Each structure stands twice: as structure tokens, then as C-alpha cells.
Structure 1
Amino acid sequence: MTQSIHIVDAFTEQLFAGNPAAVVIRNEWYSDDLMQKIASENNLAETAFLVQHNYAEYAIRWFSPLTEIDFCGHATLAASSVIFETQPTLTRLRFKTSSVGDLIIEKKPDGKISMTFPIRTLESPEAIPHALLQALPEPPVKILRSVQAWHAIYDNEQAIYNCQPDLEQLKQLAPLDLVVSAPAENYDFVSRYFWPANGGDEDPVTGSIHASLAPWWAKQLGKSNLLAHQASRRGGTLYCEVQENNVIVSGYTKKYLTGEIIL
């Protein structure tokens, strides 16, 4: 048996940049065990599995090489681009998820794809784990927490580029990950994302974390439209619009591969 698979670089207009995700579209789910094995074999930050409900509605699930993830932006963007490519008259999609509700996806005339995410609130923690403090190479000006990750906020972007946290210490924070962020000269803010307990050392571009980053920076900067850059080695650009209850995260994609899995 063979299964079609696509690999797409998300949040970039250039090949070999952004965050690569694998996309598998079916009429029914594989077993959880098989989906995890496929994701582990792909060894990308995320593999998105989709089951089509109708012309413009799909259920979506995301797997890292280690585990199923409850929310992934870049693989959602990659999956959307595959569907829009195969159905060129389609401009709007609905993805059904078990953890973050329905995600509305739209294709813009310039090729950019926008995704409507629910806002994820940042809160000041009552206590900060010792492992987090030990992991950070220099103290941030603020530490916050969302349901997804610890947020270490710095006041200069060079600290983000230089950041090399202790990954063994970060593993102790599971199931939470770590994002570091700061205001930037050529962008509204920059960030990096580390997740050794859930997927890998560093995620190249993390769409989901901007559901918390963009609203927080919107309040700090007094603006609702923000240009964000994830400063990993591959790098990626995210266009964010903060609304009352949602964050619209948009980006471009570049197709890398279409092939077949032999099962």
C-alpha cells in the first residue's frame, strides 16, 4: 500500500528556509501508533494528518517525532497550502481540531495564507521553576506562562540571537516548552522556541506560539498589526493581526516534495 505525502516549508517564500512540515491527507485516520511511527520516520518538527469531511472541511492532527501535539501553526499552514494547490478554486477552509476548536483558513490574492487562532493568554506565574532559571544563559526582564510554554522576555534582540539554553534543564519543564522574545529593529518582535521534551532542540518557526506572543506584544507596542520574525537558523516571517478574541497569523509557503510512503 502507498500513501501520498507532501513536504512544505512554512512561513517562508524561499526553499530550505522556514519550518518544514509533512502533510498526509486521507479519508480516515490511521491508528495513533502508525501515525506516530510515520512522524518519527519523517523526523520533521511536525507531520500533519488530515481526514477530509467535505470539499472545504477537514479534521487535522499533528505529530512531532516524539508525541502528538495539541496545536501546531506551521503544519496547519503547510497543510492548507497543499489543499489550496490541489483545489485552486478554493479560497477558504475549516479545520476541525480537538484542542483549539475550529481553525478558519483563507488564501489571499497574493498567495499569503491566513489562519485564525484563538488567543492564548499569558499570565505571571506564582513560582518560577528552578530548572527554567538554570536553563537561561542570562536573566530575562520578565517571565510569563501560557498553556503551551514559558515565555522569557528580553529587552534587546541580540539576547535572542545569542540564546543557547541548557536543553537538559528544559526537559524538566515538560509538558511546557520555552520561547524567548524581544522587540526588534526590523520587526516588531523576534523570538525563538525550544522544545526538547516534546519534539526537538529548537523549532525553526512556531505558528502556534504567536497566539500568545502577538497579543502580548500588541499591548506593549500599542498596535494590532505586527511583523514577527523567528530567529532560528532557518528563520521565518509571520504576519500577525490581533483581534478581540483571535489572532490571525499569516505566512507564505514553499513546496519541497510530493511523494509516496510505502506501507
Structure 2
Amino acid sequence: MHLEYHQVDVFSSGPFGGNPTIVYRLDRWLPDELLQRIATEHNLSQTAFVVREGGGWRIRWFTPRVEVPLCGHATLAAAHVLQLIYAEASDTLEFISRSGPLIVSRDSERLWLDLPAQYPDEEGVSLEVQRALGVDIIDVLGANELFVVLESEAAVRACQPDFAALGRLMWIGIVITARGEQHDFVSRFFAPRLGIPEDAVTGTTHCSLVPYWARRLRKNTLSAYQCSRRGGQLACRLEGERVHIGGQVTLMASGRLLAGVGAEQGAA
């Protein structure tokens, strides 16, 4: 049996920008080992798998190396595929995940993901982090990821980290950020321990970026730009203890996985 997949660019108003993501809608779950091998074969930062469950969809995300508990951009990609390809008529979709329920809604311009706010705590600058990033650091905080504040957008763009050194840090991922020149703030995200040296655009890091910059800039509606090589724009709102992250998405390609699923499907 062949499996249909779709590739979506998330947080981009057109093709070849944002974060490319693969989405599979499955009739039932395949073995975990096979899901991981499929994600490794695609070799993008995330491959999302969804299966109908009750009135919603259960979603799982895999990097080329491991399954992760939460991914923002791949959730938006899955919602777009379900609505565009599989005729999900509702403007609001609910996903069930290891991190709890996730709600995606659509307006005339963007898809929006509702996530819990995470306020980073002070960690203090360490020589180990300074050497791994190779840039001057203003502040270091911690949330789900190590959160490093730099002096300018230019410093964020110019950063050339030592990925081997980043991989030896205790943190799963490292986000660097600064005030933006044309946006309220900019960022980049590195996760070599997950098999992602640098992620193109990362929705979940904004769970901590948005509360931090909302407090510093004294505004709850913010524009953000992740200045990776591909780049991506995010519209952000802080509403109480929730962060709403919006972005445009583009369906890039559809195809079928032709090999490697027959025997494993029969054993599932």
C-alpha cells in the first residue's frame, strides 16, 4: 500500500520560504520505528502524522532523529493539508498531542495556533555558552530552550555557532534573539541534539519569545521574524497566559511513498 504525503512551507507568503514540512494523514497508526524511518527519509526538520480520533485529530511529530512532544509549524501545516486536501470544512481544528490539546484557527490571512505562554527565567551568562555561540551575549534565560539575548539583529544574523559545542550543552535547543530593525524582534533556533542544526522557522520557541518581548516592549501584539537562511514571518499576540502565533502557509508538493510500508503496515 502506498502512503500519500504533502509538503507545506509554513510562515511564508509564497514558495521556497518559511519552514518546509511533510504531512501524512493516516487511516491508523503505523509502528513507531516506521514513522521514524519515514521522517528520516524526508530529512526535513519535522514530519507530521495525523490520525482521526473522536471529533479531532491526533498528531505526532518526528525530526530526522527523534519524536518530539510539540511542534508549532508542523501543526499549522497539518491543519492546512486537512482543510485544503481532505476537505475539512471547519475553520477551527482541534489536535490531540502529547502536550495536550492544540487548537488551530483560520482567518482571511493566516492560520493561528494557540499555545501556553512560557516565561523564561534568568540563567546567567556562562563561558561555555559564550564560546559555543561565538558572539557577545546580553542575557541568558531558560524556558524549554536556552534563551540567549544578543545586542542587535545584525548580531543574530552574523552568529556562526559551533554546532558540536551546542550539542554538548544540557539544553535540547538554543534560541538567540534581539530587537528587530523592521520587526519587533528577530530570532534563530539551533537544535543539533535533535538532528536539526538550525531550524528554518520555529513556532514553539515563540511561547517564550512573545512573553519576553511583550514585557520588554510593553505591547501584546508583535511582529516577529526568524532570520534563518529561508526566513519566516510570524504574527504574535499575548492574551493572558496564552500565545497566539499566526502565519501564512503554501502547499508546495504532493506525492506518494512507494516503498517500505507494505509488510510493516500489515504488522501494525
> Do the two structures share a fold, i.e. TM-score over 0.5?
yes
Residue in 2 that maps onto 1:16: 16
- Match of 1:219, as an amino acid? R
Residue 155 of structure 1, aligned match among 151, 158, 168? 151
Measure, in 2, the Cα distance between the counterparts of 1:143 and 1:162.
Answer: 18
- Match of 2:102, as an amino acid? L
Residue in 2 that maps onto 1:119: 117
- Match of 1:28, as an amino acid? R
Residue in 2 that maps onto 1:172: 168
Deviations 1:133-161 (A, max 9, x none): 320212211000112x1111012110001
Runs of at least 5 residues in structure 1 that lack an aligned partner in the other structure: none
Measure, in 2, the Cα distance between the counterparts of 1:132 and 1:198.
Answer: 18
Measure, in 1, the Cα distance between the counterparts of 2:152 and 2:167.
Answer: 26
Measure, in 2, the Cα distance between the counterparts of 1:61 and 1:191.
Answer: 25
1:42 aligns with 2:47: no
Measure, in 2, the Cα distance between the counterparts of 1:232 and 1:23.
Answer: 22
Work out whether residues 8 and 21 of structure 1, in 8 Å CA contact, stay in contact via their aligned partners in 2. yes
- Scaled by the length of structure 1, what TM-score is found? 0.94
Measure, in 1, the Cα distance between the counterparts of 2:114 and 2:94.
Answer: 10
Deviations 1:89-147 (A, max 9, x none): 32010011112x1111101123x10010011220112x666532320212211000112
Residue in 1 that maps onto 2:243: 247
The Cα of 1:74 is off from its aligned counterpart by 0.9
Which stretches of structure 1, 4 residues or longer, exceed 3 Å deviation after superposition? 127-131
Secondary structure of the 1:35 match is helix
Residue in 2 that maps onto 1:198: 194
Deviations 1:19-46 (A, max 9, x none): 0000011122111101100000000000
Measure, in 2, the Cα distance between the counterparts of 1:80 and 1:175.
Answer: 29
Runs of at least 5 residues in structure 2 that lack an aligned partner in the other structure: 262-268
1:258 aligns with 2:258: no
Measure, in 2, the Cα distance between the counterparts of 1:28 and 1:120.
Answer: 33
Measure, in 2, the Cα distance between the counterparts of 1:69 and 1:140.
Answer: 28
Structure 1 residues 157 and 175: CA distance shift in structure 2, 3 A: closer
Alignment of 1:176-255 (within 5 A): 176-255=172-251
Structure 1 residues 196 and 261: CA distance shift in structure 2, 3 A: same
Corresponding residue pairs, total? 258
The Cα of 1:173 is off from its aligned counterpart by 1.7
Residue in 2 that maps onto 1:61: 60
Measure, in 1, the Cα distance between the counterparts of 2:226 and 2:190.
Answer: 12
